[in-house]
Structure 1
């Protein structure tokens, strides 16, 4: 039962994101492949990774990562900046152009939270928060 509930939640969140992304958005994402979108999301999730960290995450070569990153920088979805101490190290960061597109799901999630807070007691919300922390920790391991 828990598997089905979790899968249903994930599916509904993903479907809402893709529905809003595909229909009637004022922000367009130009010429981005599924692999490039995955790369952008991972950069966002890892919070300013280096080229090496991204290469390690995807288990692909450094030149392959560099090629993908350079394409996304040219399209305006990523920026890179030097480490202050070691100028050989570059960090990656998504741009506002990406965030405008990516955050289209925020209102949907905020509405879910507002409705959850209306329907549940403070204790239930607190327990749910604890459960989400455990779930998040487990998902990353």
Structure 2
């Protein structure tokens, strides 16, 4: 039962994201592939990795990572930022163009949380937060 609930939660969250993305004509996302989007998400989740950190995480060669990064920089989804101490090191940073796309589901999540707060006690929400912390910090690491 828990497996089905988690799968259903993930599916509904993902479906909401894609529905919002397809209905948002202001965003020009037709030029990005799913592989590129996953690469961008990894950069975002790793919080400004270097080229080599990204390549290592994705288990791809440095030239392959550089090729992907350069394409995403040209498309305006990524930027490279010099290290202040060692000018040879570049950190990768997602741009506002990526964040505009990535944050499409924020309203949906905020509505889910608001509804949860209406229907559940403060103690229930604390327990839920505790369980999510265990899942994300302990189990999924």
Deviation at 1:14, TM superposition (A): 0.4
**Partner in structure 2 of residue 62 of structure 1:** 62
**Partner in structure 2 of residue 48 of structure 1:** 48
Partner secondary structure for residue 48 of structure 1: coil
The answer to whether structure 1 residue 8 and structure 2 residue 30 are counterparts is no
Distance in 2 separating the partners of 1:25 and 1:19: 12
Distance in 1 separating the partners of 2:47 and 2:122: 31
Residues 58-99 of structure 1, C-alpha deviations (whole Å, 9 max, x = no match) = 100001000000000011000001111111111001000111
Partner secondary structure for residue 110 of structure 1: helix
In structure 1, runs of 5+ residues without a counterpart are: none
**Partner in structure 2 of residue 26 of structure 1:** 26
Distance in 2 separating the partners of 1:125 and 1:25: 36
Distance in 2 separating the partners of 1:98 and 1:115: 28
Distance in 1 separating the partners of 2:83 and 2:48: 11
The answer to whether structure 1 residue 112 and structure 2 residue 133 are counterparts is no
Partner secondary structure for residue 79 of structure 1: strand
TM-score (norm 2): 0.96
Q: Residue 30 and residue 97 in structure 1: after superposition, are their counterparts in 2 closer, same or farther (change >3 A)?
A: same
Distance in 1 separating the partners of 2:134 and 2:21: 30
The answer to whether structure 1 residue 36 and structure 2 residue 60 are counterparts is no
Number of equivalent positions? 140
The answer to whether structure 1 residue 135 and structure 2 residue 127 are counterparts is no
**Partner in structure 1 of residue 73 of structure 2:** 73
What is the root-mean-square deviation in Å for CA atoms of aligned residues?
A: 0.9
TM-score (norm 1): 0.96
In structure 2, runs of 5+ residues without a counterpart are: none
Deviation at 1:19, TM superposition (A): 1.0
Deviation at 1:22, TM superposition (A): 1.2
Deviation at 1:25, TM superposition (A): 3.6
